[in-house]
Homo-oligomer: A and B are copies of this chain.
Amino acid sequence: MEFKILKNKLHESIQHVSKAITNRTTIPILSGIKIDAYDQEVILTASDTEISIQSFIPKEIEDNPVIEIIREGNVVLPAKFFVEIIRKLPGEYVEIKVDSSFQTTIKSGTSELQIIGLDPEEYPVLPSIEENNSIMLASDLLKSMIKQTSFSISTNESTPILTGILWNLSNKNLKFVATDRHRLASREISNIEVSEDLNLGNIVISGKTLNELNKLLPDQNQMIHIVFANNQVLFKIDSILFYTRILDGIYPDTSKIIPQTFKTEIIVPTKLFLEAIDRAYLLSRENQTNIVKMIIRDHEEIEITSSLTSLGKITEQVKAERIDGELIQISFNSKYMLDALKVIDSENIQIGITGTMSPIIIKPSEDTNMLHLILPYRTTN
């Protein structure tokens, strides 16, 4: 293998695939990045078995040469060092040359490197995915759907299925659900572009993986092609392929725990409510429970309080837009409430309460596509 490549393009590609590199891999070859040089392109591949990322660098971009291929071939180079050194090389171009024992010479400007490469034959083969079942989703929409749900996944590895986000697709309606049994976040969109009459059962993808994907998704409104196979999902982003496996297991049916009618309904400005909760959270977290109490004494204002014997007490008043139904007081985890409020971008939120021991529902007041649920704390008074 021998080729010359624009340093910046190589660096950009390395940055993309390196998101799949972990330091704690037990498979030595996966601590490397695989480089395949073909006549028309160079492909970089990295994988941690959970996620695999490929980046394609074309020979030319808009008629400008990017790569000059001298001899096709491939090699695996140690990722950590490769990622850091390429960016710092002094030349505009980088020349990479591999001999028969995978000894690799990298030249750029006044620098010359000899790197001990690994045999690319040892590198795992990526799954081949048939493109029958697929959807198209705007990048910015996918990004916000992940952001608006992923904070609610469980971090407890004893229930692996809850560390994922549930994808449910039926009648061109895509819904994400995440729950850790104490709270739940859901977000849906309708009328998406699907191949044929695709309906997917419950597909669960690791929330951590989707957060990694989020870093690669462009902010612009660019279409992402998502392909579903037996136990894999493939995201096609521009010149990047992002593979991940589907989590095994049955996701719990969460539809029954969401109350449909409320005894108390509140409409309150999102920003004011968020700021009040945030201040109460500062005190409540000193206690590690994050517990705050919301008191509805009249149909005008919400009172938020939190107290801690050793530190003191905070009392917040938030003027509501509307309070309908029963006066009530209810306690909950202020951190969970904050997390939910931070991903809601509508001006007002609607809070629905059915009783001191029933789930609290938080929704944007003008939008039915998003829902957050928080289980209350049982308190003595």
Contacts and interface: CB of A to CB of B under 8 A. Distances in A.
B279 A85 contact: yes
Interface string A293-313: 000000000000001001111
A107 B318 CA distance: 15
Contacts of A36: none
A282 B110 contact: no
A88 B316 CA distance: 12
B116 A317 contact: no
B279 A311 contact: no
Nearest to A107: B315
A282 B78 contact: no
A312 B106 CA distance: 11
Interface residues of A, number: 33
A101 interface: no
Given A110-B276, A317-B110, A318-B110, A311 B115 contact: yes
Contact of A314 (B112, B286, B312): B112
Given A286-B81, A318-B110, A88 B312 contact: no
A278 interface: yes
Nearest to A113: B314
A316 B116 contact: no
Nearest to A78: B311
A173 interface: no
Contact of A282 (B81, B104, B276, B283): B81
Given A81-B286, A104-B312, A116-B311, 16 more contacts: A78-B311, A81-B283, A88-B278, A88-B282, A90-B275, A90-B276, A110-B316, A110-B317, A110-B318, A110-B319, A111-B276, A113-B312, A113-B315, A114-B307, A115-B312, A116-B312
The 6 A-B residue pairs with the shortest CB-CB distance, nearest first, are: A115-B312, A114-B313, A110-B317, A114-B312, A112-B315, A113-B314
5 contacts: A84-B282, A88-B278, A110-B276, A114-B312, A116-B311
